Structures are given as C-alpha cells and as structure tokens.
C-alpha cells in the first residue's frame, strides 16, 4: 500500500470581498513508503497548500488524502513539518523548541536532552541552546525548525523550502545530512524547493507543477545511483528547469488577469 | 553575558535621566515655597510635608491607613486579574460567550464605573467589601478586553506546529494560546494595577472609612494641607513601587519577547 495517496485534490480559498482563489486543481499523486519526492513549481502555484493539506492543517475542497490507506482528518505527530516561515515558539529557547515534541511524546527529561542536543549539533547550532528565537538569524531559525521536526522522528517529513534561508555552504552540508537521515532512517519525504539541482540531488522523483491553478505538469524520475557523476545530476536538472521555465514565465506574463502575489 | 563599561555607564545615565525630571520638580516645589512665593497653607514645602510624615509615622495611624489602602488595592487587583483573565479567555473559547460578552464589554468600557459606588454601598455596606467590589469592577473590564484581544487571534502556524508535534487540540490553549497572549495579558494587568490604587483611594474619599483616601479627606476638612500633600506623596510612592514591581515581573516573564530586549 502506498504511504501517501493524494486523490483528485482541489483547493479553493474562499475570501470575503474578493473572488475565490483556485490554488490546486485536480492533483493526483502517490508516494510510496521511504520515497523522497520533491515538488517544484512557480511561486504561488500551491506547493505550500499541498503540504498543508497532507499535514491535515487545512481540508481539501474536493478529493481525499490518505495516509496508509486512512483518510487524513487532522494534523498528527506521524507527519512532521518544517513551515516556510519556520513558526518557532518564541517563548521557548532553541533547546525548548527542539525538546517540545519529545516532551509531548512523554520522553523523560534526560533522554530528551540527549536527543535534542544531537539534532542541535547536527544543524550546527551548538552553543545557542539557551537563546530565544528572536535573537537568531533567519537561517538559524530555519535550522531550529528542522531540528525540532527531526527530533520527533516522524515517519513522514513535510518540508517547505527548508533550506531556503541558508547560505550555499550550510545548504550543501544540510542536504548531505538530510540525505543521510533519509537513507538510514527510511523516511517518506515530501520536499518543496525552488532549487532544481537540490531536488534532483535529494529525491527519487521530482514533481513539476504548473502555474496557478496548480496541477501536476510532469513527474520526472531522478533516482540516480549514489555514485552518479555530477554531469548526470546537472543534465537532469537542466531538463527539469526547461519544463519549469515555461510555467514560471506563464506565472509572470504581464497583463495576466490572475492577480500577482503581493 | 556581561555588560561592557560603556553599556553600564549608559544604564547609569539612563537611571539619572529617568529621575531627573522628578528631582527637578521636587526642587522647584521646595524652591518656590522657600522663596515665599506661595502661601504655605496652600502649598507647604516638600521638607515640611516630609517632616510631618516622619512625625506621623510614630503615631502608627498613618502606617495602618497606608496598609489598609494597600490591602484594598491588592485584593481588588488580584480579584480583577483572576476574574478578568478567566472571562477574557472564556470569551475567546466560546462563540456564545463572545456573542454575549463583546457588546457588554464595549458598552461597559466608557462608563465611569465609580458612579456605581452608591449602589455598592447599598448592597455591600460602607466597609471594606463595597470598596473592594467597586475597585474590582472598575479594573476588571480592562483585564477582560486585554486578555480577550490577546487570546482571540493567535498565529495559526504556531497552533499547527504544536499539533504536528503531538499537542492535543484541547491542550493547545494552555501550551500555545496563553504563552502567545502573555504580552497582551500583562499589559492589561499593568493598566489595571494603578487603576486599582486610584479607585481604592477615591472610594475611601467618598465613603470615608480610613485608608489614605479617608486620611486626606479628613485632613482637608480640618484644613491640614500638609497632611493632604503627605497623602498624595505616599500615594505616588506606592503607585510607583507597585507598577515598577509589575514591570519587573513582566521583564522576567517576557525575557523571550523582542520588545523586552530593546533598551534605549
Ligand atoms: N489562506 C489563504 N487564503 C487565501 N488564499 C491563499 C491562502 N493561502 C494561499 N493562498 C493562495 O493560494 C495560492 C497558492 O499559495 P501557496 O502558498 O500554496 O503557493 P506556493 O506554491 O507555496 O508559493 P511559494 O513558492 O511562493 O511559497 C496563492 O495564489 C495564494 O495567494
Ligand atoms: Mg510556499
């Protein structure tokens, strides 16, 4: 049985005093256990919306999402998420944030400390344990959000541009780390990114979405062998970028009657 | 973390700067009286007021009155805080309560609550109870609306994060909503506290019954203006200590909050 089934999903945002926005229009996607799938698409095409639907934070206008065959009815700790805007708890320190989910699981203090420290070290925030989020840079906050999710050890990782605020070097290091975690812990990952190379490097499949209303334009198999030459990664990324380019251009054509993102 | 000498000097300077205006005002007061610019009956010198205060201390009466006013103020503050937070929170949690409560709060807000004092005297007598009830009623509306505003709109991403980390729906309130609303709730309490002091003293002035308000009214009846000024001085002092204490508690509770780290 597939791990995540997204069946005929449409999402319309109704808004007072403005025409409704069709964010997703007929999306079907199946993700097997332990699969790493990336979503790429122009800004505003509904990638975050799709992740929020799988997370159970919002419900679809039509269609259904199933996890292990059971319909999603709400959020749960089986699906961890890194939000695009991090959403750290401002009243908790870095350690407090990373330990939060562990405490909810009822893990004893000592063990909690140990696990949290492991992930804080992993995201290179050693020494910042007692600092509150508002004193961290955007990239550091993003890494706390990553550690907070990973510490909970969910089976499904939903990640919304989790490396978007990072510098190129940290980004490469964390890509390696994530790939390693995925390889060892066998997680199912749904990963949103704007970086096509990152998508190809990390994932087994890359889903290219159309400009809004979001549909799936193409699914590219990117399951390269671990020792694939850089050239192969680049070539595949080139191909996907060519497809994506059309959509990005479509999304920003002047005179387009669909309103632009602010 | 240690403060640099520059920072420490800046802080010292800050304290002096902060008090400079008050000190200047006191000096002006003293100066005007020493220079015999005003009748000492209308405005006794600060030094006279303080001397009177030192004398009164021995009698014990003033100490007892001050304690009484303090007791009434704090009792009303604790009641207004507890009741106000409970009502404000309930209004955020329940749509029917919100439907009922929101207009009532808007309606009650601009009423000068002190107008209810005669009624409370009828209901609760002329002693402590009517004064404390009056003060509680006057302050509670502020706490209700601050709590309600703070708990009504919470960043949905915080709620979602908590849920995906395993927090049960019913636990969201205590784990997320209350901490997120704490700055607003504390602001409500900080406005309510001096309000409690003011209203307590006014109730004492209206219905007699000792306390600093009663003390000042009696003094004015017997034309003892230095006593009146002593009462005002003590009230200001109590008010300062109370609000400063609460501000300290706020800094401590909100160490995580960006606003609390901005120091200029
Ligand atoms: N809560 C909401 N209410 C109304 N419209 C919304 C809401 N959330 C998203 N939208 C709209 O739905 C569309 C898709 O938004 P979404 O955030 O899913 O895009 P995205 O693909 O994640 O974009 P980006 O790459 O810029 O993050 C956008 O046009 C947006 O304006
Ligand atoms: Mg997005």
CB contact under 8 A, A90 and B257: yes
Residue with the larger pLDDT of the pair B150 and B209: B150
Between CA A145 and CA A88 the distance in angstroms is 6
What is the rounded average pLDDT for all residues in chain B?
A: 87
Task: Note the pLDDT of residue B12.
Answer: 65
Question: How confident is the model over B25-49, as a mean pLDDT?
Answer: 87
Mean pLDDT of B66-76: 94
By most ligand atoms within 8 Å of CB, the mutation choice from A44, A161, A210 for ligand 1 is A44
Name chain A contacts of B160, Cβ cutoff 8 Å: 52, 55, 57, 75, 81, 83, 87
Q: Residue ranges of the alpha helices (H) in B153-224?
A: 156-164, 172, 178-207, 211-221
Task: Kindly state if the Cβ of A203 falls inside 6 Å of ligand 1.
Answer: no
Comparing B5 with B71, the larger pLDDT belongs to B71
Q: How many of the other CB atoms lie within 10 Å of CB of B143? A: 27
Q: Which residues contact B84 (CB under 8 A, 6 or more apart)?
A: B139, B140, B141, B142, B143, B144, B146, B147, B188, B192
Structure tokens at A24: 């997703």
Question: Nearest CA of chain A to the CA of B168: how many Å?
Answer: 9
**What does the pLDDT read at residue A260?**
45
Give phi and psi for B17, each to the nearest 5.
-60, -40
The b-or-e profile of B70-90 (16+ CB within 10 A means b, else e) is bebbbbbbebbbebbbebbbb
Return the H-helix or E-strand segment holding A27: strand A18-31
Q: Of A148, A189, A143, nearest to A166 (Cα)?
A: A143
CA of A211 to the centre of ligand 2 (A): 13
Q: Do A85 and B182 touch (CB under 8 A)?
A: no
Q: Which residues contact A96 (CB under 8 A, 6 or more apart)?
A: A89
Helix (H, G, I), strand (E, B) or coil at B89: helix
User: From the CB of residue A110, how many other CB atoms can be counted at a distance below 10 Å?
Assistant: 8
Q: How far apart are the first and last CA of chain B?
A: 18
The answer to whether the CB atoms of A100 and B165 lie below 8 A apart is yes
| Backbone φ, ψ for residue A190 (5° rounding) | -120, 115
The pLDDT, as a whole number, for residue A226 is: 74
Residue A39 near ligand 1, beta carbon < 6 Å:
no
Q: For residues B6-18, give the mean pLDDT.
A: 67
The pairs formed by A195-200 with CB atoms below 8 angstroms and a separation of 24 or more are A195/A163, A196/A40, A196/A237, A196/A240, A196/A241, A196/A244, A197/A233, A197/A234, A197/A237, A198/A38, A198/A163, A198/A171, A199/A38, A199/A40, A199/A237, A199/A240, A200/A224, A200/A233, A200/A236, A200/A237, A200/A240
Closest residue by Cα to atom 17, ligand 1, is: A48
Q: Is the pLDDT of residue B116 over 70?
A: yes
pLDDT per residue as tens, chain A (262 positions): 899 999 999 999 998 888 999 999 999 999 999 999 999 999 999 999 999 999 999 999 999 999 999 999 999 999 999 999 999 999 999 999 999 999 999 999 999 999 999 999 989 999 999 999 999 988 899 999 999 999 999 999 999 999 988 888 888 888 988 888 888 888 999 999 999 999 999 999 999 999 888 899 889 888 887 777 778 888 888 888 888 888 888 777 654 444 444 4
Which of A90, A93, A101 lies closest to B166 in CB terms? A101
How remote is the CA of residue A16 from the centroid of ligand 2, in Å? 22
Query: What's the pLDDT score for residue A233?
Result: 81
Q: Residue B111 above 90 pLDDT?
A: no
Q: What does the pLDDT read at residue B7? A: 63
Which residue has 């065959």 as its token pair? A69
Percent of chain B with pLDDT strictly greater than 70:
92
Contact yes or no for B169/B163 (Cβ under 8 A): yes
The reported pLDDT for the residue numbered A261 is 46
pLDDT value at position B10? 62
The answer to whether the Cα torsion of B31, B32, B36, B41 is positive or negative is: negative
Which pLDDT score, from 0 to 100, does residue B2 have?
Answer: 53
Q: Across residues B85-101, what is the average pLDDT?
A: 90
Q: Which of A233-247, B7-21, B164-178, B240-254 has the lowest mean pLDDT?
A: B7-21
CA distance B165 to chain A (A): 5
Residue A15 DSSP SS3: strand
- Tell me which of A128-132, B13-17, B95-99, B169-173 is least confident: B13-17
Backbone φ and ψ for B193, nearest 5 degrees, come out as -65, -55
Position B1 confidence tier, pLDDT thresholds 50, 70, 90: very low
Q: What was the pLDDT predicted at A98?
A: 97
* B42-261 placed in CATH 3.10.180.10: no
Domain ranges of chain B: 1-38, 42-261
The residue to mutate among A14, A21, A165, having the most atoms of ligand 1 within 8 angstroms of its beta carbon, is A21
Q: Tell me, what's the pLDDT at A107?
A: 94
User: A13 CB under 6 A from ligand 1?
Assistant: yes
- B82 vs B112, higher pLDDT: B82
CB atoms closer than 10 angstroms to residue B191:
15
Closest among A159, A256, A163, A161 to A211, alpha carbons compared: A256
Distance from CA of A230 to the nearest CA of B (A): 36
- The ipTM value here is 0.90
User: pLDDT band for position B6 (50/70/90)?
Assistant: low
Region for residue A178 given its phi and psi (left: phi exceeds 0; alpha: psi -120 to 50; beta: otherwise): alpha
Return the DSSP state at B257: S
CB distance A46 to ligand 1 below 6 Å: yes
Mutate to test the pocket of ligand 1, among A20, A46, A196 (most ligand atoms within 8 A of CB): A46
Closest CA to B176 of A115, A97, A135: A97
Arithmetic mean of pLDDT, B156-177 = 93
- CA–CA separation, B20 and B220 (whole Å): 31
Instruction: State both tokens at B245.
Output: 């204490």
Overall average pLDDT of the B151-159 stretch: 91
Using a 10 angstrom Cβ sphere, with 0-12 exposed, 13-18 middle and 19 or more buried, the burial of residue B156 is exposed
């Amino acid at each position: 049985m597939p791990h995540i089934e997204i069946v005929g999903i449409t999402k319309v945002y109704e808004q007072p005093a403005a025409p409704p926005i069709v964010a997703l229009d007929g999306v079907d996607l199946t993700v097997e256990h332990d699969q790493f799938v990336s979503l790429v698409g122009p800004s505003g095409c509904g990638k975050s919306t799709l992740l929020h639907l799988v997370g159970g934070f919002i419900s679809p206008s039509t269609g259904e999402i199933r996890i292990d065959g059971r319909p999603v009815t709400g959020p749960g700790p089986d699906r961890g998420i890194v939000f695009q805007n991090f959403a750290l708890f401002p009243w908790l320190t870095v350690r407090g944030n990373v330990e939060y989910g562990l405490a909810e699981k009822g893990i004893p203090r000592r063990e909690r400390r140990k696990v949290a420290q492991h992930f804080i070290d992993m995201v290179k925030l050693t020494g910042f344990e007692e600092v509150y989020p508002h004193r961290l840079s955007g990239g550091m906050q993003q890494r706390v959000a990553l550690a907070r999710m990973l510490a909970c050890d969910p089976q499904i990782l939903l990640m919304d541009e989790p490396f978007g605020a990072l510098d190129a070097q940290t980004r490469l290091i964390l890509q390696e780390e994530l790939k390693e975690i995925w390889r060892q812990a066998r997680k199912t990952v749904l990963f949103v990114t704007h970086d096509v190379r990152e998508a190809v490097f990390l994932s087994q499949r890359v889903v290219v979405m159309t400009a809004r209303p979001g549909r799936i334009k193409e699914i590219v198999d990117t399951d390269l062998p671990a020792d694939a030459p850089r050239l192969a990664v680049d070539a595949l990324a080139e191909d996907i970028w060519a497809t994506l380019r059309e959509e990005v251009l479509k999304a920003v054509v002047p005179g387009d009657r669909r309103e632009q993102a602010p | 973390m240690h403060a640099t000498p520059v920072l420490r000097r800046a802080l010292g300077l800050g304290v002096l700067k902060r008090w400079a205006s008050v000190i200047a005002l006191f000096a002006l007061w003293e100066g005007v009286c020493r220079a015999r610019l005003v009748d000492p009956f209308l405005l006794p010198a600060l030094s006279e007021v303080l001397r009177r205060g030192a004398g009164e201390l021995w009698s014990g009466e003033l100490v007892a009155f001050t304690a009484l006013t303090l007791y009434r103020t704090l009792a009303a503050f604790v009641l207004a805080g507890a009741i106000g937070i409970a009502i404000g929170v309930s209004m955020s949690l329940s749509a029917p309560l919100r439907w009922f409560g929101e207009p009532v709060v808007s309606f009650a807000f601009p009423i000068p609550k002190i107008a209810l004092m005669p009624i409370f005297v009828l209901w609760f007598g002329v002693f402590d109870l009517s004064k404390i009830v009056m003060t509680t009623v006057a302050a509670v509306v502020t706490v209700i609306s601050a709590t309600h505003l703070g708990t009504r709109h919470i960043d949905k991403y915080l709620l979602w994060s908590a849920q995906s980390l395993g927090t049960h729906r019913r636990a969201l309130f205590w784990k997320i909503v209350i901490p997120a609303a704490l700055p607003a709730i504390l602001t409500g309490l900080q406005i309510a506290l001096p309000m409690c002091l003011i209203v307590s003293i006014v109730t004492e002035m209206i219905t007699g019954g000792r306390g600093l308000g009663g003390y000042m009214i009696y003094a004015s009846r017997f034309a003892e203006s230095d006593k009146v000024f002593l009462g005002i001085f003590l009230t200001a002092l109590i008010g300062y200590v109370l609000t400063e204490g609460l501000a300290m508690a706020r800094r401590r509770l909100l160490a995580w909050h960006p606003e609390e780290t901005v120091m200029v």
